[in-house]
Amino acid sequence: MIQLHIENETNPLKAVILGTAESCGPVPGPEEAYDPKSLEHILAGTYPKEEDMVKEMDAFAKVFEKHGVKVYRPEVLQDCNQIFSRDIAFVIEDKLFHANILPDREREFEAIHEVLDKIDPKNIVRPPEEVHIEGGDVMPWNDYIFIGTYTGDDYPDYITARTNKEAVEYIRRMFPNKKVKSFELRKSNTDPKENALHLDCCFQPVGTNKAILHKNGFLVEEEYQWLVDHFGKENIFEITKDEMYQMFSNVFSISPNVVVSEKNFTRLNNWLREQGFTVEEIPYAEIAKQEGLLRCSTMPLIRS
């Protein structure tokens, strides 16, 4: 049996689901794109090739192996993009939440049955239908749960708006002992530099008290400022619009002192090392073309 346990983003990782790029299907048509960055690469003819993405994910798996982390992979479905396991489910404390995602991604959840079969069924929770929530928007952080959302009246017009206000209320009800803090994110269906698809596209904690942050990803300046005050300005690495576009904030922590990062993120990786982190650099630039990176393609199950 798997005893789920997630209290924050950085405690030592024991078990994780890593997505797969195998059999991810043909290049989608422009009308099938879920986000503006994929659309940009579909139109430019630079959409990533399966064999390159498989290599990138294998490099990630090797880092987990090196650090003694138990890695689960989904069952490979024919012609199905299963890279971003963070979208389909997420864990808070001892509960696994089955995300209400875009309907044509439902079978991705079924493909992690090897893991689901090892979890006590009462710890697998499906939120009610009106709750739209994806793991990229959910960050347990000790006493807090941070949630990225979009509550504008035009929510239905944005395929990039993934977590709604009903979701924030739902998580509040589920965890009355936690402080649930929501953040309004900037959304665009067409401009990837003006679109924070998920909270982890413009913010992520690292270590025990540091964070990567992009101001323009937030619609409400006071909410951005709250994070600056919470972590302390001296502990924050502020990324540019171009760095957000390259997914600088979407690194992944194996422990409070080990961070997996993309090898081209030179400015960030140097800063992390200056702060005393061990940085495991891997190539992930092809997968980044789909507006997702390291955090998006992992779903932690147990952190000690």
Quick one: which of 244, 274, 253, 275 has its CA closest to 206?
Answer: 253
Distance separating alpha carbons of residues 292 and 155, to the nearest angstrom: 21
Where is average pLDDT lowest: 45-54, 94-103, 223-232? 94-103
Confidence of residue 70 (pLDDT cuts 50, 70, 90): very high
Please give the structure tokens belonging to residue 5.
Answer: 């346990």
Query: What mean pLDDT comes out for the span 42-63?
Result: 96
At 162 the pLDDT is 83
At 33 the pLDDT is 81
Cβ-Cβ contacts under 8 Å for 242 (sequence gap 6 or more)? 193
> Is the separation of the CB atoms in 80 and 23 below 8 Å?
yes
Confidence of residue 279 (pLDDT cuts 50, 70, 90): very high
Distance separating alpha carbons of residues 38 and 195, to the nearest angstrom: 12
Distance separating alpha carbons of residues 210 and 275, to the nearest angstrom: 9
Query: What mean pLDDT comes out for the span 106-130?
Result: 96
At 195 the pLDDT is 80
Chain mean pLDDT for the chain: 94
Distance separating alpha carbons of residues 177 and 263, to the nearest angstrom: 39
Confidence of residue 10 (pLDDT cuts 50, 70, 90): very high
Residue of higher predicted confidence among 105 and 200: 200
- For the chain, the structural domain boundaries read 13-303
Quick one: which of 292, 299, 219 has its CA closest to 36?
Answer: 292
Percentage of the chain modeled with pLDDT above 70: 100
At 155 the pLDDT is 77
Residues forming a β-bridge with 34: none
pTM of the shown model = 0.95
Q: Which CATH superfamily is domain 13-303 in?
A: L-arginine/glycine Amidinotransferase; Chain A (3.75.10.10)
Where is average pLDDT lowest: 150-159, 237-246, 278-287? 150-159
Where is average pLDDT lowest: 130-139, 192-201, 204-213? 192-201
In the predicted model, is pLDDT for residue 109 greater than 80?
yes
